Copies of this chain bind each other. A is one copy, B any other.
């Protein structure tokens, strides 16, 4: 029995409510050794009080030293082992545009590229055409019809778009058509097993028609595909943990990840105030609420320490409105760290606080990376955070007698 099976076998439904507020990329590092992090610099009176009275600590998103992308980072927080779920590049790209992928759909990431008269690739990114141009060309390609399969195309950004093949009993084990180098033609799609042969045939037929349609659209007169795959078959959070979860998120990637684990994704809010309003409005309809705040990560990625500090203060300021609803368990955490000093995601454990009437105090006076080292939550893998929340919410039975 693995850990998740154990937790699942002990699930118990009740009326308690859990709110998990994720400030993307929350964790940070000091600008110089020995200094303060973004969170430690920010004025966060609400979080400081929670950290003192309740259970703060650090979550390791995947494993020590592992810098996670958004997928593994969130899967851990949702109570999944991020090592056990593989999300293909095509699926991730379709999640990122909030595309409602069906179980049998095959998604691939597509790149417009440039080819010369011999058909050899001269630019693998088609001169990085703007997104508007991408959308225009994708619209042209939508005229392509293929027998026995529906072709769905969606622009993403710059030269990137998504190909979705919707058919019956199609395998997804198809090789990339991107040769990874220039001065050679795009590769044919090849099936890696019998069920995937029709899929490869569809891709190659699509390319044949597309080449004709785009012949006068240099620099975007050809395309390559990679990351063919179906949505991973994973049990929903409801199946696993017996909870009825809702996602309240602005950005498509996080809405898509929430959908992947079977959350009810509420209509797209414009900003945090609309997110709070949705939480209030839907309070009686769900027992787990995932709320996502993006800008802590964005500012970290920009390398902007001061702006990340401000966004941490913004998210701190809305916490009283959440607590006013009296959730049985409230969690504030991040999916990973994004230190401004690195301008990228990182492997550092993430400051986390969990409140319930059953937590032990942490006896710290501030909520920060250093104070969390001695909090009562300890330093744990992120995949254990949801089970601990379930325990505090009375949603887990005793194990053994």
Q: Is B34 a contact partner of A384 (Cβ separation < 8 A)?
A: no
Kindly report which residue of chain B lies nearest to residue A358, judged by CB atoms: B29
Closest 6 CB pairs of A and B: A65-B387, A69-B400, A65-B391, A64-B384, A72-B400, A34-B53
Q: Is A370 a contact partner of B361 (Cβ separation < 8 A)?
A: yes
The segment out of A161-169, A288-296, A337-345 that lies at the interface is A337-345
A349 cross-chain contacts in B, Cβ below 8 A: 378
Docked Cα-Cα span, A63 to B389, in Å, equals: 13
Chain A residues in the interface with B (C-beta under 8 A): 1, 3, 6-7, 10, 29-30, 33-35, 37, 52-54, 58, 62-73, 82-83, 87, 89, 92, 339, 341-342, 344-349, 355, 357-363, 369-370, 373-376, 378-380, 384, 387-391, 396-401
Kindly report which residue of chain B lies nearest to residue A401, judged by CB atoms: B69
Q: Is B6 a contact partner of A83 (Cβ separation < 8 A)?
A: yes
**Known pairs A53-B34, A358-B341, A361-B34; A398 contacts B89 (CB<8 A):** no
Q: List 27 A-B contacts (CB under 8 A).
A: A6-B83, A7-B63, A7-B66, A29-B358, A29-B360, A30-B360, A33-B53, A33-B355, A33-B357, A33-B361, A34-B52, A34-B53, A37-B360, A58-B378, A64-B388, A65-B388, A65-B396, A67-B391, A68-B400, A69-B401, A73-B400, A87-B400, A87-B401, A92-B400, A344-B398, A360-B370, A361-B370
A54 cross-chain contacts in B, Cβ below 8 A: 33
Docked Cα-Cα span, A359 to B65, in Å, equals: 11
Q: Is A398 a contact partner of B70 (Cβ separation < 8 A)?
A: no
A10 cross-chain contacts in B, Cβ below 8 A: 66
Kindly report which residue of chain B lies nearest to residue A394, judged by CB atoms: B342
Kindly report which residue of chain B lies nearest to residue A355, judged by CB atoms: B33
A378 cross-chain contacts in B, Cβ below 8 A: 58, 349, 373, 379
A361 cross-chain contacts in B, Cβ below 8 A: 30, 33-35, 370
Q: How many copies does the complex hold?
A: 2
A29 cross-chain contacts in B, Cβ below 8 A: 358-360
Q: Is A401 a contact partner of B70 (Cβ separation < 8 A)?
A: yes
Contact pick for A63, options B70, B339, B362, B384, CB 8 Å: B384
Q: Which of A7, A35, A62, A391 has the most chain B CB atoms closer than 10 A to its own CB?
A: A391
Chain B nearest CB: distance from A201 CB in Å?
28
Docked Cα-Cα span, A349 to B377, in Å, equals: 10
Q: Is A67 a contact partner of B399 (Cβ separation < 8 A)?
A: yes
A359 cross-chain contacts in B, Cβ below 8 A: 29, 33
Docked Cα-Cα span, A346 to B363, in Å, equals: 21
Q: Is B33 a contact partner of A64 (Cβ separation < 8 A)?
A: no
Kindly report which residue of chain B lies nearest to residue A339, judged by CB atoms: B358
A362 cross-chain contacts in B, Cβ below 8 A: 370
**Known pairs A54-B33, A358-B29; A66 contacts B369 (CB<8 A):** no
A379 cross-chain contacts in B, Cβ below 8 A: 378
Give 13 new A-B contacts, CB below 8 A, not counting A62-B399, A349-B378, A360-B370: A6-B83, A30-B361, A33-B359, A63-B384, A64-B384, A69-B401, A70-B401, A87-B401, A339-B358, A342-B358, A344-B398, A345-B398, A346-B358
Kindly report which residue of chain B lies nearest to residue A361, judged by CB atoms: B34
Q: Which of A70, A89, A399 has the most chain B CB atoms closer than 10 A to its own CB?
A: A399
